[in-house]
Structure 1
Amino acid sequence: MNVNLMSKRAPKKNQKGFTLIELIVVVVILGILFFLTVSALGGGTNSANAAAVRSMSNELGRAVGFLNVNLGTGIDTSTSNPISASGDDMMDVIVKGRASVAAAYQARFDQLNMRPLQGKIVVNGANFTMMNYDVGFTMTSCPSNRVCVEFGRVPNEVFREVASKEGVAYSDTANTAGETLRWTAPTGGLRTITMLIYP
């Protein structure tokens, strides 16, 4: 008798789509993946900026060395280098090119077919920037056999990446005697770093 009652129950409908719990689980997983991706990309940006700082330092150091070898002007990057026109320094020569070369060196400079770095480094009056960082040469405490490339307004995260790639233990206190990397104490999350490059 009960057998007939069992058979009269409504058949189960085929379920289509997702349940609410399944949708919540998917949204949570997507949120976690999004968070991890954003975190990884942020670190990737710092790493890329650090690589750009290191690469530009080496490029500027090689340019000074190239000019010294081919023109015999020395690696002095100040305005007292004979290759630079009056009031200009080696940064002007390397970034702006012939217009910043002293007349006595222009013909020999032209023979080198050296392309200026304008475009990689932006000129704004007497200032030079790469990305958002001020860039220039410094002679302050720079060893005589090195080219010292200084970057200003470098975020601490980028500085830490540079230091890590250089194999230098970093700190929040200034380092003015490093062999490959020097830096100032941070101000507002930014600092000035100096890369010491063999030309």
Structure 2
Amino acid sequence: MHTPVENQQSTVQTRPDDKHQSKLRRQRGFGLLEVMIVVVVVGILYALSGRSLGGSTEKANATAMTRMSQKLTDNWTMIAQTCGTTTDPANSPVSGNSAANALNLLIGGNTSAATGGYTVPAAYESCYRQSKVLPLTESAQWDATNTRWLVSSYEVVIARSTSSGQGFIDTQYQNVPSELALLIVQQFVPSVTDLGAAASNSYVAVHYGAETAGARTVTLRRPVN
């Protein structure tokens, strides 16, 4: 007995197509491979972007620290000129003969020491106001626990120095990682590629201390009268 032709055709149509299924398997395998490639590429891009962002952050810190040294020098010079006093913050009556008080005044303003400021003596309060110098609180962070100012997370202090008859306001940053120190130095001397482990006073505008546990002091020097 023969099967009707139409039933034979129906049987053929419902049988699995080996070639078609093989193609589907290849497509599924290729899709998985694509996913794996994408995951690897994304991982590489993430790692590269992390390095790039880290480098950008350090460059931004170097720029912020450099700019802060200029602002501190400019503002202290303006106060000294307006009040007719010395540019030496450690010997100025405006700061009570204290460089630490001068820094607090410059950053925290004419206010309580509890919030990082310094109260200007009454005899100099008028000239201080006339100088129109504004606090630099937006450019620094007050560490109340250790009573110190931080710029880009690094402690900052100021002093006055003299070299070959020229006066300078020195802005010194403490415990700066050597990688960041290099970026700061390069803003003044672009040709420098390595600081080495030793201290150096070779450059007029920037000095740095010897490396200790991967960090060092960096002193930015701005000329004053």
Q: TM-score w.r.t. structure 2 length?
A: 0.74
Stretch of structure 1 that moved more, 61-70 or 82-91: 82-91
SS of 1:136's partner is strand
Which residue of the other structure, out of 83, 86, 96, is the alignment partner of 2:108?
96
Higher relative contact order (Cα pairs below 8 Å, separated by 6+ residues): 1
Task: Report the RMSD for the aligned CA atoms in angstroms.
Answer: 2.7
1:158 matched to 2:180: yes
Q: d(CA) in 2 for partners of 1:9 and 1:150?
A: 80
**Structure 1 position 58, deviation (Å):** 1.0
User: 1:112-123 maps to which residues of 2 (within 5 A)?
Assistant: 112-121=131-140, 122=142
- Which deviations, in whole Å up to 9, do the C-alpha atoms of 1:21-74 show, x marking residues without a partner? 222211111111111111111111111111111111111111112112222222
> Identity, % of aligned pairs?
24
Which residue of the other structure, out of 18, 23, 30, is the alignment partner of 2:35?
23
Q: d(CA) in 1 for partners of 2:124 and 2:179?
A: 42
**Structure 1 position 82, deviation (Å):** 2.0
Q: d(CA) in 2 for partners of 1:9 and 1:126?
A: 80
Which stretches in structure 1 are left out of the alignment for 5+ residues?
Answer: 1-7
Contact 1:133 1:154 in 2 (8 A): yes
Which residue of the other structure, out of 84, 96, 101, is the alignment partner of 1:85?
96
Match of 1:198 in 2: 223
Stretch of structure 1 that moved more, 34-43 or 135-144: 135-144
Q: Between Structure 1 and Structure 2, whose CA radius of gyration is higher?
A: 2
**Structure 1 position 93, deviation (Å):** 2.3
Match of 2:4 in 1: none
Q: d(CA) in 2 for partners of 1:197 and 1:22?
A: 58
What code does the residue aligned with 2:125 have?
Answer: Q
Aligned length: 192
Contact 2:160 2:167 in 1 (8 A): no
Match of 2:156 in 1: 135
- Which deviations, in whole Å up to 9, do the C-alpha atoms of 1:160-190 show, x marking residues without a partner? 1111121163332101353011011111111
SS of 2:94's partner is coil
**Structure 1 position 9, deviation (Å):** 8.2
Q: d(CA) in 1 for partners of 2:160 and 2:96?
A: 18
Q: TM-score w.r.t. structure 1 length?
A: 0.82
SS of 1:173's partner is coil
Match of 1:5 in 2: none
